[in-house]
Amino acid sequence: MTTTFDLSAVGLREVNQALHAPDLDDEFLIENPLGAHNVAVGVNAPIKVTVNGHLGYFAAGMNQQAEVTINGNAGQGVAENMMSGVVHVTGSASQSAGATGRGGLLVIDGDAGARCGISLKGLDIVVGGSVGHMSAFMAQRGTLVVRGDAGDALGDSLYEARLYVRGEVRSLGADCVEKEMGPEHVQELAGLLKAAGFADDDPATYRRYGSARTLYHFHADNTY
């Protein structure tokens, strides 16, 4: 059963409350979001949510289990701290997409702004286009795949997250270095590209970046 909400007619609270009801397994359609913030946040059910239009900040924030499709652009912090499930933005996303995400898959068909995957903690992010500066800043775990280019200071102060970029990297951040693509990395990347709907990409055309691990221990040489 599909339930439809017209966000130009009902309040955000009503929509999110309905998405938080116990034992949900239905489909939901949200029309006319008009850039609203905090749509479909805190969902914890194996449901499908489709949003037709652009969203504001924190769309699908902290998502658990749900498959959320945003047919439009998403504002700042889309899928922030998501735990599981899939969030798919068919347009572009603003800054801090997937910030601190801990699990699941975030797919952005278009570009993502600055700080994409900042403080990543286990989420996999696939960006169809390019990402802005400081992406994967302090990223701890998880994966960021960029089919286009990456802006300045990619992976600054990176921990154990893995970054794959097909296009040009404008500059690498502190302690981020290019690393060899082993067979396990090709396999991982191929799997993510397939899951994100980009199965035709050849993983061999990507380069891998990770932490040089020189900032892991605080000493006089890396303090300024």
Partner 1 sequence: MTSTPEDRARLGLRESATFDRATIAAIQRAAQTGIYDIRGWGAKKPLPHFDDLLFLGASVSRYPLEGYREKCGTDVVLGARNARYPLHLDIPVTIAGMSFGALGANAKEALGRGASETGTSTTTGDGGMTPEERGHSKHLVYQYLPNRYGMNPDDLRRADAIEIVLGQGAKPGGGGMLLGQKVSERVAGMRDLPQGIDQRSASRHPDWTGPDDLTIKINEIREITDWEKPIYVKVGASRTYYDVKLAVHAGADVVVVDGMQGGTAATQEVFIENVGIPTLAAIPQAVQALQELGVHRKPDGVQLIVSGGIRNGADVAKCLALGADAVAIGSAALIALGDNDPKYAAEYEALGSAAGFYDDFQAGLDPAGITTQDPELQKRLDPAEGGRRVANFLRVLTMEAQTIARACGKAHVTHLEPEDMVAISIEAAAMARIPLAGTSWVPGWNTGGAF
Contact by Cβ (8 Å): 112, 97: yes
- Which residue, 111 or 201, is less far from partner 1 as judged by CB? 111
Contact by Cβ (8 Å): 26, 45: no
Q: Residue 18: phi, psi to the nearest 5? A: -65, -35
CA distance linking residue 165 with residue 145, whole number of Å: 6
Q: Is 159 in the site for partner 1 (CB under 8 A)?
A: yes
- Which residue, 40 or 193, is less far from partner 1 as judged by CB? 40
In a 13 Å sphere around the CA of 34, the CA atoms on its Cβ side amount to 9
CA distance linking residue 46 with residue 151, whole number of Å: 35
Q: Is 157 in the site for partner 1 (CB under 8 A)?
A: yes
- Which residue, 122 or 203, is less far from partner 1 as judged by CB? 122
CA nearest to 31, candidates 58, 50, 57, 13 = 50
Query: With contacts defined by CB under 8 A, how many residues of the chain interact with partner 1?
Result: 43
Please state the closest distance from residue 32 (CB atom) to partner 1, in A. 18
Q: Is 65 in the site for partner 1 (CB under 8 A)?
A: no
Q: Is 119 in the site for partner 1 (CB under 8 A)?
A: yes
Binding mask 163-182 for partner 1 (x = CB under 8 A): --------------------
Question: Encoding tokens for residue 19?
Answer: 């998405």
* E strand or H helix that includes residue 3: strand 2-6
Q: Is 200 in the site for partner 1 (CB under 8 A)?
A: no
Q: Is 141 in the site for partner 1 (CB under 8 A)?
A: yes
CA nearest to 162, candidates 179, 148, 174 = 179
Q: Is 44 in the site for partner 1 (CB under 8 A)?
A: yes
Q: Is 22 in the site for partner 1 (CB under 8 A)?
A: no
For residue 72, give the 3-state DSSP assignment. Answer: coil
Q: Is 118 in the site for partner 1 (CB under 8 A)?
A: yes
**Pairing relation of β-strands 121-127 and 141-146?**
parallel
Q: Is 62 in the site for partner 1 (CB under 8 A)?
A: yes
Residues that bind partner 1 (CB under 8 A): 12-13, 16-17, 20, 37-38, 41-42, 44, 56-58, 61-62, 64, 76-77, 80-81, 83, 96, 99-100, 102, 115, 118-119, 121-122, 137-138, 140-141, 157, 159-160, 216-220, 223
